[in-house]
Amino acid sequence: MNITQSTKGENLISIKISVVKADYEENVEKTLKQMRQRANVPGFRPGMVPMGMIKKLYGASAKMEALNTLVSDSLNQHIMENKLDLIGYPLSDNEMQQPADLESQDDIDFYFEAATRPEINVDFTNTMVEFYHIVPTDEEVDKVVEDLQERNPNTSHPETVGENDRLELKVREAEDGKEVEDGFQKDGLFIHMDQITNKTIRKKFIGKEVGAEFIVNLAKALGGEEAVAKVLGDDAPVDSDYNIIIDDAIRDEKPELDEDFFKKIFPDQEIKDLDAFKQAVKAEMEKQHEAEADPILFNKMVDELVAAVKFELPDAFLKRWLVENSHGQVTAEDMEKNYEKDYVKGLRWQLIEDSIVKANPELVITDEEVKDFVLKQIFPGIDYASLEDDMKTNLDKIAANYLKDQRQVEQIKNQMADIKMTRFLKGKMNINYTETTPADFVKKLEEERKG
């Protein structure tokens, strides 16, 4: 057997595999003997069919099987030994391949063509992307400050109930002013004073000391039997009176915008006054807007690189390769019609991305990074490095179980790769930022889509 390789075009090679009878004859004979043992031919016992008849019946298929195995293995070995960096996998060369008569022809030439990856040099200095730096307005910053106050209240436990407190209650089913023996009861029931819609009963709660108890019809207090079932459960009597015991009153009050509050929101920063606090809030908002806009910027950077980095593609081969690997989903006519619109950008970007990753190994996503990513998703804010060994072992088991789904792993790797590549490209490419507000940013995106 002899294998030769030659250049067929720009980034396109031809591989010729010349096979003689001695290369495959032994395997053909072996296959035919196996077929003889299994053959079921009328008039002959199993394993006793004459070999001449076996060759006549199965010779061509046995020869084809041996040739396919031999040629496939030889092609793979040639690719590995010569370290061929290919796009996809070689295809049969329809222009060169001649029909073979397997019954009479012993020496056969097989022709393949393959696309080699082009040499790609990415010059980031010659790129330019127009994008936006999203800066929130003062009104938006004030709104976030107010939201932070509402989400981080000062909590106290007053001795008496106020109009806007939350209450922790014990409830006991009651009748005629007394608790019902073996009646329904529930501890640790939390309700907010706002849930008590009956004004008269609401007034009955206000001013009561923690520890007080009194009889209340909850259906009247909460505005109906459905509300009672919602807070007590479906198994509770909804039209009954209940003895209410106030275990605790919890009061949330809007915190002052002082240093204690600033420290609570930004524990790692020394913020002394409201202006500095608002600047810190604004900076966090800008980071959030930047993270949300990064996928859009990434697409723009990809478009710029695809347009700026020049190299030739063996388009005719790639069209055929895409069709043959579509498993019948795409016809040659469809490919010819949609190649430029639907495929070229993706192909070119994949090759550019591969060349960037090859030159910058730190962009490769490691298994350890995937595990850390998963743990942060499951346990946000956890400091893995500071954990005890037993806790690390338990978390590793949780991550390993989560990562058994290979499809899920690939999705995570793709997501992480995009994040890494975005960060890398932002540091390498020339980006001209125009300052804009969040609302105007949305409008500009809509205009770009329409345009």
Distance CA 277, CA 273 (A): 6
* Of 36 and 174, the one with more pLDDT: 174
- Under a CB-based contact definition with an 8 Å cutoff, are residues 127 and 429 in contact? yes
pLDDT in tens, 189-218: 999 999 999 999 999 999 999 999 999 999
CATH label, 154-253, candidates 3.40.50, 2.30.29, 3.30.310, 3.10.50: 3.10.50
Give mean pLDDT, residues 110-126: 94
Return the biggest CA–CA distance within the chain: 108
State pLDDT tens for residues 16-66: 999 999 998 899 888 888 888 777 777 777 778 788 887 888 788 888 899
**pLDDT-derived band of residue 252, with 50, 70 and 90 as boundaries?**
very high
Mention every residue, 6+ apart, whose C-beta is less than 8 A from residue 24.
63, 66, 67, 70
Q: Where along the chain do its domains lie?
A: 2-116, 154-253, 274-311+360-450
Taking residues 171-199, what's their average pLDDT? 95
DSSP string for 155-221: EE--SB--TT-EEEEEEEEEETTEEPTT--EEEEEEEEGGG---HHHHHHHTTPBTT-EEEEEHHHH
Q: What is the mean pLDDT of residues 77-86?
A: 95
Distance between CA atoms of 220 and 203, rounded to whole angstroms? 13
d(CA 204, CA 21): 103
Helix residue ranges, H only, 82-157: 138-151
- The mean of the pLDDT values for the chain is 92
Q: Do the domains at 2-116 and 154-253 have one common CATH topology?
A: no
Question: What integer pLDDT is reported at residue 54 of this predicted model?
Answer: 75
* Single-letter code of the amino acid located at 288: Q
The set of residues, in sequence order, having a beta carbon less than 8 Å from that of 244 and lying 6+ positions away, is 169, 170, 171, 213, 214, 215, 216
**Confidence class for position 232, pLDDT limits 50, 70, 90:** very high
Q: What is the mean pLDDT of residues 163-190?
A: 95
Model's pTM, two decimal places? 0.78
CATH fold of the domain at 2-116: Alpha-Beta Plaits (3.30.70)
- Exposed, middle or buried by CB within 10 Å (0-12, 13-18, 19+), for 410? exposed
Q: Above pLDDT 90, what percent of the chain?
A: 76
